[in-house]
Amino acid sequence: MAFSNSNDWGSLQPCWINLHGATPDDYIYVTDYGTKLTSQNGNNGKKMSGFLKGSTGIDAQFHISFKLGYQWGWSILYMANVKAISSTTGVVTPGDWNTSGYNGMGFWNNSSNNKLYVDKSVSGTSTRLLDTTGISDTIINLWRESDNGVFYRITGSNAVEVGTFTDDFCFYTIAQSPWSCEMLAAYNVTRKIS
């Protein structure tokens, strides 16, 4: 499935699609009505990637809520400009969120290092916003307001303004076992097609 332009993406939905990597089996699976992607094939087991269905649209409000797994492997969620993703294959690489000319974010969490990292990328230059103790069963919210300000908030903490971005963002995960990423909500408040 190719994602050659933003018209192919459609409105955000809390569902994992376009899965790549290992053949799904009882170690790699999607549960909870398509909202949770999990790999439980031991340390450094099979790798899997997937996209959240839809994109934000350009210069438009959105909101997502998610939980990162707290396991040995890094549980990850990336936010990237849709134009930074391969236009021919739709397959992602870990660095697509941090591409020159575009903006993005990365969220990483695990138990082996007991770390939670949050980074932002502005035109391919990444900056660490948060380096703290890992979290378990904790909701992270990420949204864009009407003035294009992008914010995130980890439950129990204050909202953090990341910057002002007008990108058409998509969301994806790519990680190695064991890990999980669960989407609790994903929706467009307004949407403008580029």
Question: For residue 141, what is the DSSP state?
Answer: E
Q: Would you put residue 186 in left (φ > 0), alpha (ψ -120 to 50) or beta?
A: beta
pLDDT at 180 over 70: yes
Tens-digit pLDDT profile for residues 158-167: 999 999 999 9
What confidence score (pLDDT) does residue 5 get? 45
Q: What values do phi and psi take at 7, rounded to 5? A: -65, -25
The answer to which of 19-23, 56-60, 175-179 has the lowest mean pLDDT is: 19-23
State the pTM of this model.
0.89
Domains contained in the chain, CATH given: 12-86+101-188 (2.60.120.200)
